[in-house]
């Protein structure tokens, strides 16, 4: 069966019971993994623990856990706890976040993000594999740390949120997988090459590294409301220097510059109008179920091994999630062996 994940929006209007219902639906429909982001509001580990109580098979991942707000030891403890609650179904997705958020919300200097990620992974990996950790690094000095009897019985895969060349190479060197975000379909092949380069430098087989990525999706016959919602979502990222630069480097400098200028004036409508249909179709998928499936397979062909469907709200958020999880169920996909198109 073709591999698909689903991302549940970290939205406080979705109750813990909503998360349980949507995850149980995703599991029943053949999705391999449920990912929950963390960018404010509730933490993702608590949400995943809640989901673990009402599911049996589906993998559960943090998509992503920001590393500046937690120490590596604390991150390892959270991973061990969630792995235990889910009976070994947990995947640890880690990311550096962005400087403005880290420095304003967490009150922590955003310094040496690559070094912090490297040291965090080295320490967390050792803890989760049962080692006693004595580590002397540029950001962390740890003596005698271990998980003891809390060490997970099965391996916890570590994914890195990565878009740029350096972080993608680190995925190849240190991680079990990558979790990309807003990845333009035409950038996928280049991203995979960076991961391969990092793996080969470290003497690893690139085939062992999972390539996953969020793909914003709205399914429906009338795409006008979906595109309106999508344009606004993309435009908001123009105020974030990291994503603005990323989108510019992947061919959308004109759109991002116009959107950023409009946002500076406080005009979100004007900013949204700057996001062209070409850009929308590169970074997201909108259309009928059949059109969405075809667009997702195009991304798989470009190297995205686990497309993680990220439903975005068109009207009611829970209803949007439920509709997409049902419409794009892997068990109903024509790309699944023995599968048939849903009516």
Q: What is the pLDDT of residues 202-255, one digit of tens each?
A: 999 999 999 999 999 999 888 899 999 999 999 999 988 888 988 998 899 999
Q: What is the mean pLDDT of residues 98-106?
A: 90
Could you give phi then psi for residue 55, rounded to 5 degrees?
-130, 165
339 within some domain: no
CA angle 220, 277, 274 (to 5 degrees): 125
**In the chain, how many domains are there?**
2
282 and 294, same structural domain? no
Mean pLDDT, to the nearest integer, of 41-59? 97
Q: Which of 45, 53, 43 is nearest to 21 (CA)?
A: 53
Whole-number mean pLDDT of the chain? 94
- As a whole-number percent, the residues of the chain with pLDDT over 70 amount to 97
310 pLDDT band (50/70/90 cuts)?
very high
Residue 120 lies in a domain: yes
Determine the average pLDDT of the residues in 117-144. Answer: 98
Domain that holds residue 197: 5-218+289-332
Same domain as 293, residue 282: no
The confidence score (pLDDT) of residue 336 equals 47
The per-residue pLDDT for 314 is: 81
Q: How far apart are CA 285 and CA 103, in angstroms?
A: 33
Give the per-residue pLDDT at 343.
30
Model confidence at 338: pLDDT above 50: no
The verdict on 314 and 275 lying in the same domain is no
In a shared domain, residues 248 and 135: no
Q: Are residues 141 and 279 in the same domain?
A: no
Check: CB of residue 54 under 8 Å from CB of residue 20. yes
Confidence band for 342, pLDDT divided at 50, 70 and 90? very low
Q: Is residue 201 part of a domain?
A: yes
Residues 190 and 72 in one domain: yes
pTM value? 0.94
Q: Are residues 114 and 174 in the same domain?
A: yes
- Average pLDDT (20-29) is 98
Q: Which two tokens stand for residue 186?
A: 């035409």
Write down the pLDDT at residue 339. 40
pLDDT beyond 70 at 126: yes
């Amino acid at each position: 069966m073709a591999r698909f994940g689903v991302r549940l929006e970290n939205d406080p209007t979705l109750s813990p019971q909503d998360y349980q219902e949507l995850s149980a639906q995703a599991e029943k429909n053949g999705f391999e993994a449920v990912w929950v982001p963390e960018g404010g509001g509730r933490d993702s580990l608590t949400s995943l623990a809640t989901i673990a109580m009402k599911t049996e098979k589906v993998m559960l991942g943090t998509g992503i856990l920001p590393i500046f707000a937690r120490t590596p030891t604390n991150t390892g403890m959270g991973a061990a706890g969630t792995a235990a609650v889910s009976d070994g179904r947990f995947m640890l997705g880690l990311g550096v976040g962005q400087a403005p958020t880290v420095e304003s919300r967490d009150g922590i200097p955003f310094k040496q993000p690559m070094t912090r990620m490297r040291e965090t992974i080295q320490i967390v990996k050792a803890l989760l594999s049962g080692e006693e950790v004595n580590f002397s690094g540029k950001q962390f000095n740890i003596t005698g740390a271990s998980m003891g009897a809390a060490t997970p019985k099965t391996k916890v895969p570590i994914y890195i949120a990565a878009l740029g060349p350096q972080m993608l190479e680190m995925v190849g060197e240190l991680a079990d997988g990558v979790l990309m975000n807003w990845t333009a379909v035409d950038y996928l092949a280049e991203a995979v090459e960076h991961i391969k380069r990092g793996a080969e430098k470290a003497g690893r087989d690139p085939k062992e590294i999972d390539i996953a990525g969020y793909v914003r999706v709205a399914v429906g016959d009338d795409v006008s409301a979906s595109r309106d919602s999508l344009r606004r979502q993309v435009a908001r990222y123009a105020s974030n220097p990291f994503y603005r630069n990323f989108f510019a480097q992947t061919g959308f400098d004109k759109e991002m510059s116009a959107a950023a200028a409009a946002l500076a004036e406080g005009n979100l409508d004007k900013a949204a109008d700057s996001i062209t249909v070409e850009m929308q179709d590169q970074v997201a998928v909108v259309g009928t179920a059949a059109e969405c499936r075809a667009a997702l397979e195009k991304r798989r062909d470009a190297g995205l091994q686990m497309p993680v469907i990220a439903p975005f709200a068109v009207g009611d958020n829970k209803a949007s999630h439920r509709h997409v999880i049902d419409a794009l169920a892997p068990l109903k996909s024509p790309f699944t062996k023995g599968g048939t198109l849903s009516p």
